Amino acid sequence: MTFQTPLPVAPGLMAGYLDSLALVERLHRLLLDVIKDEFERLNLLEINPVQALLLFNIGDNEVTAGELKTRGYYQGSNVSYNLKKLVDAGYMHHQRSEIDRRSVRVRLTAKGRQMRAAVGELFERHATGMEDQSVITAEAMADMNRTLRRMERYWSEQIRYIY
């Protein structure tokens, strides 16, 4: 395997890029901590924050573990493990596909929809609080999301294409 010599990068761009990477990682971990704290406050200790986000992201859809992975929400065996835990705890229904018996489709139960609603209420409080406290405007949020989507597309292309 040969490695290409990297092209020179503007120091400000490199510093900003590394700062963005660290922020994205910290924000994700902080989000999990915020959900954990909310669940402890509500005495909802049966599932973990990753599983709660999984319920939130599935919403009203019926999906397979593979679909969750291809949408980019989750990685490999982590999805299967968490889906099994959620099914066992009564938060999700599962049903084998009639066409492909290896494939299992899952959807939220009433209990899962209640948990999803609790996470949704937390997110609504945060969005309102950020707006009320002038943390970020809707316009700035839209700009940030456009930038993050461009980064996501760039990284996706790096994974798909071999140099």
What tens-digit pLDDT sequence spans the chain (163 residues)?
A: 566 667 778 888 989 999 999 999 999 999 999 999 999 999 989 999 999 999 999 999 998 877 877 776 666 668 888 888 999 999 999 887 777 767 788 999 999 999 999 999 999 999 999 999 999 999 999 999 999 999 989 988 888 765 5
**Torsion angles phi and psi, residue 83, rounded to 5:** -65, -40
pLDDT at 43: 93
Q: How far is CA 70 from the centre of its chain?
A: 13
Nearest to 115 by CA among 64, 67, 46: 46
- Confidence (pLDDT) at 67: 82
- Tell me the backbone φ, ψ of residue 62, rounded to 5 degrees: -115, 120
List the structure tokens of 106.
């899952």
3-state secondary structure 10-35: CHHHHHHHHHHHHHHHHHHHHHHHHH
Q: Supply the pLDDT for residue 79.
A: 83
| pTM of the complete model | 0.82
Give residue 88's pLDDT.
95
Domains of the chain in sequence order:
47-160 (1.10.10.10)
